A and B are shown apart, each in its own frame.
Chain A
Amino acid sequence: MTERLIHLGLLLLFPPLLLGVVNKTKAWFAGRNGPPLLQTYFDLAKLMRKGLVLSTTTTWVFRAAPVVTLATVLLAGLLLPLGRAAAPIAFTGDLILFAYLFGLARFFTTAAALDTGSAFAGMGSAREVTFACLSEPALFFAFLVLAKLSGTLTLTQMLHGPAGGFPPAATAPLILVALGLFAILLTESCRIPVDDPNTHLELTMIHEAMVLDHGGPLFGVILYAAALKLFVLGALLLHVAAPFQAAYPWQEWPLFIAEMLGLAVLIGIVESVMARLQMRHVPYLLVSALLLCGFGFILLVR
């Protein structure tokens, strides 16, 4: 019960901090002070106090999309184990629901973008669905590897590995899968080198271009859902990239939080030292992710 409460608390409260850590890291690299660590919370509080400005072109789809996105990401967060604790909801085949919940979010986000009738939003949503066609199969390759290694189809057991930890033969496939998942994480959470969350040139954006017309509390919901998505995908990656166990049970949650913050710092470093890829080169990155996960699979079943 306590574990579930901690899970829920972390899921609901922790994600905005990740964005703060990423931005702080970037600021440190650029030699700036940067916004405070808690800036995202301040932003959210401010947005939630605002009124609503809606485009005359839009319909209920535009207003429903943020809410549906948040609901799906929240539910996905409940299907995923955080650290060594089991997920609050677990059943055979939950990994498929996990992946398809993000699909539902994508359907509504991209449809809402088209609802504005803006060419920029259309551009962003076309890019979003295009890149998803490569990242989704890559994610399933990763799931195949994890399912084969653990022998189950339940996310908790798949990500925690067999009882005695992953066997030594699993190291190489897991490294490949971790690299692939990192690329998927960067894509899905709209980070450099795929998308630049800070850009002000609409032509080059993906996620930000889609939500240009949202404002006020609805934009707050979008921002919060984006942070949650980064958190959920990050937690997924951590299982593969850092399958460490703490010495004592009480250390499990601090270890998970430390790993999560480390991941945010890593994302900040990637954003600082890399340039955004040209839009037509993004598929290469995603195909590489697909191939990395695919090679992991082949290594495992050969």
Chain B
Amino acid sequence: MMVSLGLVLAAIGLLGLSGLPACLLPARSPAGQRLATALMAGGSLLGLAGLALAFGAAAPPALELPWGLPWGRFRVALDAISILFLAPVFVVPLLGSLYGLGYWPQAAHPENGRRLGCFYGLLAGAMALVAIARDGVLFLVAWEAMALAAYFAATLEEENPEVRRAGWVYLVATHAGTLCLIAMFALWRQATGSFALVPAPPLPAALAGTLFVLALIGFGFKAGLMPLHVWLPGAHANAPSHVSAVMSGVMLKMGIYGLVRMTAVLPTPAAWWGGTLLAVGAATGVAGIAYALGQQDCKRLLAYSSIENIGIIALGLGLALLGRSLERADWVLLGLGGALLHVWNHSLFKSLLFLATGAIIHATHTREMDRLGGLAKQMPRTMALFLLGAVAICALPPLNGFASEWLLYVGLFRTLGLGGAAGCPAAALGAVALAMVGALATAGFVKLAGTVFLGSPRTEATRQAHDPGASMLLPMGLLAAGCVGLGLFPMLAAPLLAAAAHAWTPMPGLATAAAELPLPWITRLGLGLVALAAVLALAVMALLRGRPRASVATWDCGYARPTPRMQYTGASFGQSLVGLFSFLLWPKPAKLALRTLFPPGATFASRVPDAILDRLVRPLFALLGRQLPRLHLLQPAQTHLYLLYILAILITLLLWGG
């Protein structure tokens, strides 16, 4: 059983170092990039084999090695939770790397292709290490490597000021989160006597609560829970698309992983933990997708939708926590199972959507949806794949988003206390929030897909677009196949989900609850829906055979010469919903006032800036930037003085501690 852990460690090494050989090759040589992809493929396959072996093992494989640092130990283990989070790490970055061969070819990007390769691989390796680390210090080391690798991979086009700004916000936010995590692990060590991430003995309620809140904030920054999401839209929009796919599809989930792991090792939670997470998740879901509706930049829309999905996952985790406090195994299974299945699902469809959007950017050189349009005719394959991802992310049957949200819904309905069981009806309101999120997501993705792919082309660049090559289409196709597969056969994931729930909290009754899940019905009805639609389509086609068929211009109510400029834009499509949610979004008022009889030309722009980042954080930091230079007194740029500070602080600490 140690073989499985060895395979995963070897995979981490291969992934992490996959970009290095290219650095020895010339800047324009494509061989390095191919080698990196091959190394990633080898590493990922080893890793997946290791995961399969570990899932079959009787007990979770674990390993402990001595290392040179004074604190912590090299302690790793591979339980069902780790397996669940590792699977996307071994799938999505590999597919992204394959996609990168066509999207960001080394020969066309000699200035930064090798840097991307290095940090992309490091990001994947560090994420995998995060998911197996069982020691606070090792966890933080891997965490920081992941955060920095993502920074360097995402800020590739640093000559663009917008990219630098987004990178800076990301760096500040991720370190604010890491600070909370350092505090949390310090407190953990204080409470349990070691940095080991193993289930803790019963702790005082206040101490456990503090640990939970620190974990929620620290990991919330990475996952993008509102209002800690400030870095996310900018960083995702400005990174190369396959890096966005990995960041959104996998890296955000590491924040979720942290929450799952810490709640697994913390003692039995108080009811307010689950309640808080439920409320935060519901708010994040609704606000995230409402913001997405206001975006005109394709990738910013996708980024806000990631926030929404993180909210949905947090909702499920909150339900599971509540179930653990109130000793309800079915809530735990449905909440955690739904959340973890959604982790997989989101990593599939969001990566697919980012990669497809990358193909659009590659072909048209713009991210502004209102400059696109009618791409369905130029890029039919990309369009079909994108549409599939859009249906999946709206949680519509018969694709995978529906399966995970269905589990969450059933769990949330169970909190009503059905059939005489005790309940917690306030938690059932989560179902209503989830319904609103679902309807808003449909609006958002109809807006995105409709504006970009349907109608007629709005600019000349759109007319020249074409489908990308096989190296870009193949990864998208595989992700789409995953969406269909998990949507029609969600029970394939059920054993792993049940094992993860058992690893999270070994509660009696989990197995019974798992056996009662009517997952086969999702398969039957999904297949039934597909078959019914196919039969009807064939019937209509048979009916139309031989009938006259005419092609004319769109009717447009009698107007004979509609132009592409007259189409409904993404901005106008979202306008009424943005208005409806203006209490949340605070959109910039954009009004055209006619002041004279013969008004001159005017411009009109509708924009939805991020309320937290643009109206709170930025002004606050600007204020601090104006006030804090007074402290330059303490910062005279003389090294010996800084050394003196360090010595003084150390002596103070020694005196205080001793």
Contact = CB atoms under 8 A, between A and B. Distances in A.
B435 A139 contact: yes
Nearest to A72: B529
Interface in B386-431: 387, 390-391, 394-397, 402, 405-406, 409-410, 413-414, 416-420, 425, 428, 431
A107 B71 CA distance: 54
Interface centre among B390, B553, B568 (most CB of A within 10 A): B568
Nearest to B535: A71
B549 interface: yes
A89 interface: yes
A66 B537 CA distance: 9
Contacts of B396: 100, 103-104, 107
Contact of B549 (A51, A61, A120, A135): A51
B420 A151 contact: yes
Interface string A191-220: 000000000001000000000110011100
A90 B390 CA distance: 28
Interface stretch (A22-30, A121-129, A163-171, A261-269): A121-129
A156 interface: no
A130 B444 CA distance: 10
Contact of A114 (B394, B417, B450, B543): B450
A92 B410 contact: yes
B521 interface: yes
Interface stretch (A33-41, A52-60, A251-259): A52-60
A133 B577 contact: yes
Interface stretch (A2-10, A13-21, A140-148, A239-247): A140-148
B556 interface: yes
A183 to B, nearest CB: 16
Contacts of B405: 96
Interface centre among A106, A114, A115, A135 (most CB of B within 10 A): A114
A119 B567 contact: yes
A65 to B, nearest CB: 11
A97 interface: yes
B391 A137 contact: no
A153 B417 CA distance: 11
Given A92-B518, A148-B425, A50 B547 contact: yes
A192 to B, nearest CB: 20
Nearest to A201: B557
A126 B567 contact: no
A283 B575 contact: no
Interface string A43-77: 00000101111111111010010111011101100
B438 A100 contact: yes
Contacts of A139: 435
B296 to A, nearest CB: 15
A153 B410 contact: yes
A122 B573 contact: yes
Nearest to A114: B450
A67 B536 CA distance: 6
Contacts of A96: 405-406, 409-410
A119 B573 CA distance: 10
A99 B435 contact: yes
A1 interface: no
Interface string A86-102: 00010111101101110
B397 A59 contact: no
Interface residues of A, number: 79
A96 B552 CA distance: 40
Contacts of B432: 137, 140-141, 144, 294
Interface stretch (B6-14, B189-197, B451-459, B588-596): B451-459
Given A59-B377, A117-B374, A151 B418 contact: yes
A152 B419 contact: yes
A117 B567 contact: yes
A71 B532 contact: yes
B544 interface: yes
B443 interface: yes
A203 B414 CA distance: 44
Given A148-B425, A217-B540, A54 B549 contact: yes
Given A51-B550, A130-B443, A133-B577, A144 B537 contact: no
A56 B455 CA distance: 10
Contact of B406 (A75, A93, A202, A216): A93
Contact of A57 (B416, B449, B554): B554
Contacts of A153: 410, 413-414, 418
A274 interface: no
A179 interface: no
A70 B536 contact: yes
Interface centre among A59, A119, A153 (most CB of B within 10 A): A119
Contacts of B446: 107, 110-111, 114, 125, 129
A117 B420 contact: no
B532 A103 contact: no
A135 B433 CA distance: 12
A129 B528 CA distance: 26
A147 B580 contact: no
A247 B510 CA distance: 45
B553 A55 contact: yes
Given A104-B397, A137-B432, A213-B554, A119 B442 contact: no
Nearest to A116: B554
B207 interface: no
A107 B580 contact: no
B439 interface: yes
B528 A75 contact: yes
A132 interface: yes
A68 B399 CA distance: 14
Nearest to B402: A100
A125 B573 contact: yes
B436 interface: yes
Given A103-B396, A133-B440, A202-B557, A91 B518 contact: yes
A185 interface: no
B536 A104 contact: no
Contact of A97 (B373, B406, B443, B553): B406
A221 interface: yes
A57 B562 CA distance: 11
Contact of A129 (B414, B566, B577): B577
B454 A126 contact: no
B624 to A, nearest CB: 38
Interface of B: 373-374, 376-377, 380, 383, 387, 390-391, 394-397, 402, 405-406, 409-410, 413-414, 416-420, 425, 428, 431-436, 438-440, 442-443, 445-447, 449-451, 454-456, 516, 518, 521-522, 525, 528-529, 532-533, 536-537, 540, 543-544, 547-557, 562, 564, 566-568, 572-577, 580
Sorted from nearest, which 4 A-B pairs have the closest CB atoms?
A122-B568, A114-B450, A117-B455, A51-B548
24 contacts: A51-B549, A56-B552, A57-B554, A66-B540, A67-B540, A70-B536, A71-B533, A97-B397, A100-B402, A103-B395, A103-B396, A103-B439, A114-B455, A118-B567, A119-B556, A123-B568, A125-B450, A126-B573, A137-B435, A144-B431, A147-B418, A152-B419, A218-B540, A283-B580
Given A61-B387, A133-B436, A151-B419, 16 more contacts: A54-B549, A55-B552, A67-B536, A74-B532, A97-B397, A104-B391, A107-B394, A116-B455, A117-B554, A125-B450, A126-B568, A129-B442, A129-B446, A133-B580, A136-B438, A153-B413
Interface of A: 48, 50-59, 61, 64, 66-68, 70-72, 74-75, 89, 91-94, 96-97, 99-101, 103-104, 106-107, 110-111, 114-123, 125-127, 129-130, 132-137, 139-141, 143-144, 147-148, 151-153, 202, 212-213, 216-218, 221, 283, 294, 297, 301
